[in-house]
């Protein structure tokens, strides 16, 4: 395994640098992390898979750019959950350290790509809502399906390139620089750059939503004043305002779940983390899974189109379950059993 300059507070580790980052010392901590990751990860994959099915099984929904961005968010959350849970549990719970630097950085790149794509998809959704509310008459011309797919392709490619930089050579082993206290083989300068990238994304999302909610408030006032004169336009505005509020809820959950992780990452760059803080970081990392698990619940509760699609799917499923009971064979079998009785 490559020799890297390990963090100062991990100098007590002997020889194997990977063991310096295995911060869970008791069996109770490992079991707790395993349960949290298993629960959040399973629910996240199930819920986001359901969102993707509802979007792409309904022709009316999948044609709308807004739901293409939401589908991208759901896909990113699925990939992040699978890669994160498998690598995180394998490393911290089962203490597997037999893989190479390249394998670890590949896993880390997959997690970073997925989480970055999730955040970037939320930014595209915010910009989409801003265009829909601020320029409703030109929205269909400005936001076409082709442009939506192009934006998503650029998004995923950019996130993959940024997340793959450590694997391509920007790591503390290749550069012989100081390693991060939180991630093996990760250069402190790269971690600083990735944090800046995330903070910029969050800042853009906040600015976009500030404009969205401001215009939504204007539209609410307009609806109350002209509801009788413009019923059709009012219905359209109500849908935009409702979706804007939904995505604002998603943003609030995102900030609550990601803030502890980002704060500890920033602190690790300017100061030295104690063993207790590194354990806190390990548990706070599971909040990212919680965020991915909560997002689909917000969609189902707030989006009328997705909720209606979910009701249709459930109704169809119930009819499929009742069909065998009402089939001629089942009916004849029931009659014969009654005659025998």
pLDDT over 70 (residue 55) = yes
Query: What burial letters (b/e) apply to 113-137, b meaning 16+ CB within 10 Å?
Result: bbbbbbbbbbbbbbbbbbbbbeeee
pLDDT over 90 (residue 150) = yes
The pLDDT, as a whole number, for residue 194 is 92
Q: Measured between alpha carbons, how far is 208 from 217 in angstroms, rounded to an integer? A: 14
Q: Tokens representing 246?
A: 């939904």
CA distances for 216 relative to 18, 55, 209, 245, 246, angstroms = 50, 25, 10, 9, 12
- Given pLDDT bands bounded at 50, 70 and 90, which one contains residue 275? confident
The pLDDT, as a whole number, for residue 158 is 95
More confident residue, 289 or 98: 289
Q: Structural domain boundaries of the chain?
A: 24-309
The pLDDT, as a whole number, for residue 3 is 52
pLDDT over 60 (residue 16) = no
The pLDDT, as a whole number, for residue 4 is 59
**Averaged over 177-202, what is the pLDDT?**
88
This prediction has a pTM of 0.82
- Largest Cα separation within the chain, whole Å, is 86
The pLDDT, as a whole number, for residue 14 is 40
**Averaged over 53-66, what is the pLDDT?**
85
Contact 244, 153 (CB under 8 A): no
**CATH fold for domain 24-309:** Rhopdopsin 7-helix transmembrane proteins (1.20.1070)
The pLDDT, as a whole number, for residue 326 is 59
């Amino acid at each position: 395994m490559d020799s890297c300059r390990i963090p100062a507070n991990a100098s007590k580790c002997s020889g194997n640098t990977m063991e310096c980052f295995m911060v869970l010392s008791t069996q109770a901590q490992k079991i707790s992390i395993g349960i949290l990751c298993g629960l959040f990860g399973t629910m996240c994959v199930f819920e986001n898979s359901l969102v993707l099915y509802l979007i792409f099984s309904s022709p009316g929904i999948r044609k709308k750019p807004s739901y293409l961005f939401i589908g991208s968010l759901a896909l990113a959350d699925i990939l992040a959950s699978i890669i994160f849970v498998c690598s995180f549990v394998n490393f911290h719970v089962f203490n597997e350290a037999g893989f190479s630097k390249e394998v670890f950085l590949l896993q880390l790149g997959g997690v970073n790509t997925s989480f970055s794509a999730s955040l970037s998809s939320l930014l595209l959704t915010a910009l989409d809502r801003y265009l829909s509310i601020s320029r409703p008459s030109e929205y269909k011309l400005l936001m076409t399906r082709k442009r939506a797919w192009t934006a998503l392709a650029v998004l995923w490619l950019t996130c993959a390139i940024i997340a793959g930089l450590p694997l391509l050579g920007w790591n503390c082993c290749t550069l012989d620089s100081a390693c991060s206290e939180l991630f093996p083989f990760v250069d402190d300068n790269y971690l600083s750059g990735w944090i800046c990238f995330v903070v910029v994304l969050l800042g853009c999302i906040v600015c976009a939503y500030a404009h969205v909610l401001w215009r939504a408030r204007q539209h609410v006032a307009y609806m109350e004043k002209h509801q009788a004169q413009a019923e059709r336009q009012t219905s359209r505005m109500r849908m935009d305002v409702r979706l804007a509020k939904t995505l604002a809820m998603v943003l609030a959950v995102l900030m609550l779940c990601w803030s502890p992780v980002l704060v500890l990452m920033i602190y690790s760059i300017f100061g030295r983390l104690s063993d207790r803080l590194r354990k806190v970081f390990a548990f706070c990392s599971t909040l990212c899974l919680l965020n991915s698990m909560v997002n689909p619940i917000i969609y189902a509760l707030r989006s009328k189109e997705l909720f209606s699609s979910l009701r249709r799917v459930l109704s169809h499923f119930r009819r499929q379950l009742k069909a065998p009971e009402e089939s001629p064979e089942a009916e004849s079998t029931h009659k014969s059993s009654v005659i025998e009785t």
